[in-house]
Structures are given as structure tokens and as C-alpha cells.
Amino acid sequence: MTLFSAAEGTWVERLGGLRNLVRQESIARQLECHVPSRHTVLDVGCGQGTQAIRLAERGCTVVGVDPSTALLEQLRAAAHAGGLQVQTCVGSLEDLPALLDDRRFEVVCAHGLLMYLEDTAAALAMLASYAIPDGLLSVTFRNGAALAYRPALRGQWRAATEALGAKTYVNELGVTATAHTLENITGCLTELGFAVVQWYGVRVFTDPMPADQAPPPEPELRRLLDVEYEASRRDPYRHFGSQIHVVAQRTS
């Protein structure tokens, strides 16, 4: 069982909430800037398959890997409903060699995974090994430089003080996880022969919203998502995203 597994039920209950919607829509829009249609994609820790489905809709050949059979069933149901084909594999990061053998991909994704793993450098090395020469690696992680931002804006001053300089945190699912800095992740990627193409802040303005906050109706929702996207790629706003999304390319 992974750290995430114990909170999977709560995760599923909140999939339709505003905070998850903003995160998923932001990442999808960011990926559109870097991943051409019809590319081969490996999505590790794909969960219910939000990004896998979006990529498949754009003509990509997608393999989704996740330890949760329940979440993968949701992915398969959504793919079937949309007339899409997404290959799914039950497994975790360490299972990739057995699941994929010598297959390599033009894009490797791992969104919301690193915070639940003990060895970040080893995880990135494993993910990177499945990217072809010139291939892309897309990863998101909890922004360790802004851990105090959410509790401070909620008026939770004790929690904000404790978050200053912290390396771990208790997320909205009640799970203790690890935060990373942009410098830490980009340093690991450089050692693996990857150069950062672009990085984004994810959920800049809406992160302090309650975990069960419902999305607003259109057209307010579209305006909200547009503002989040623009902030995600602009300084200084992107530095305050609850997660950081790094897109890097293999150069050696």
C-alpha cells in the first residue's frame, strides 16, 4: 500500500471539487503547449486518468500505470465512453521494468506522484529512463517554497508558522507527504541529462479554497481557469502555486 492508497476514497469524493478541477485543467492546458498530437505517452500514477484521457483525445497513444484497480476502472470507463483507447497497467513505479520491458516513450508524465515517494532522485531516474532521446518528462510536485501560503491565507497562523521552512506537510487528504523545491527537482533533472523547457505554478489563487468547494457556474469558471493559467506561467505569481509543474527535455 502506498501513502496515497489510504486516502484514495477521499480523493475520489473530491474529484469534482474546484481545487481538483483547477489543478487538472491547468496541467492539461500546460501540456498542450508542449505535447504534440499523436505522441506516445507514459502516464505513471495516472489515477482516474484525467490527463491520459485528454492526451488520448488529442490522438496520443497513452499507457497509464497506477496501483489502484478502482481508479484504473474509472479511466477505462471514461475511455470507453469517449471511444478512446488507453492501455492500462496495474502497478507502481518499481513495477515499470516488468510492465514495460524495453518500451520507450516520447513523453513521460508523473503528476502528483513524487510527494508520496521516499527517494526522489531514484524516482526521477526511473521515470527518465523511459523517455526516448529528445523525449519530454512532465512532473508535478508540492511547492516546498510556498508551504505556508495556504494556511496563512486561511488564517491558520500556527500552521503557517510551522510550515515555514518545513520539508513535509499534511495534505488535504490527511496524508503526510514530502514537498520539494524547484531547485531540487531541476538539479536532479540536470544530472539525468534533462534541460527544463518550462515550469509552471499550479493552483495559484484557488489553493486556499476549502477542499470541498464546488466549481462556480459558467462563465465565471472559465474566467477563473483563464486567470489561473495566465498566473501559472508568469512571475511572481507562479512561485506561489501549491504545486510546481516542470516540463523538461532529454538533451544527453
Please state the three-class secondary structure of 204-246 as a single string.
Answer: CCCCCCCCCCCCCCCCHHHHHHHHHHHHHCCCCHHHHCCEEEE
| Within a domain: 124 | yes
| Within a domain: 203 | yes
pLDDT tens track for 46-55: 999 999 999 9
| Within a domain: 117 | yes
Predicted local distance difference test score (pLDDT) of residue 72: 98
CA distance 44 to 42: 6
pLDDT tens track for 148-181: 999 999 999 999 999 999 999 999 888 999 999 9
Record the pTM.
Answer: 0.95
| Locus of grid cell 513505479 | 93
Number of helices and strands in the chain (H, E): 10, 9
| Within a domain: 164 | no
| Within a domain: 245 | yes
| Within a domain: 186 | yes
Give the pairing of strands 86-90 and 61-66.
Answer: parallel
pLDDT tens track for 215-249: 999 999 999 999 999 999 999 999 999 999 999 99
CA distance 203 to 171: 14
| Within a domain: 241 | yes
CA distance 45 to 111: 7
Task: Give the side-chain half-sphere CA count within 13 A for 227.
Answer: 9
| Within a domain: 235 | yes
- Number of structural domains (the chain) is 1
pLDDT tens track for 97-124: 999 999 999 999 999 999 999 999 999 9
Give the range of the structural domain holding residue 135, as residue numbers without chain letter: 5-143+180-250
Give the domain CATH number at 208. Answer: 3.40.50.150
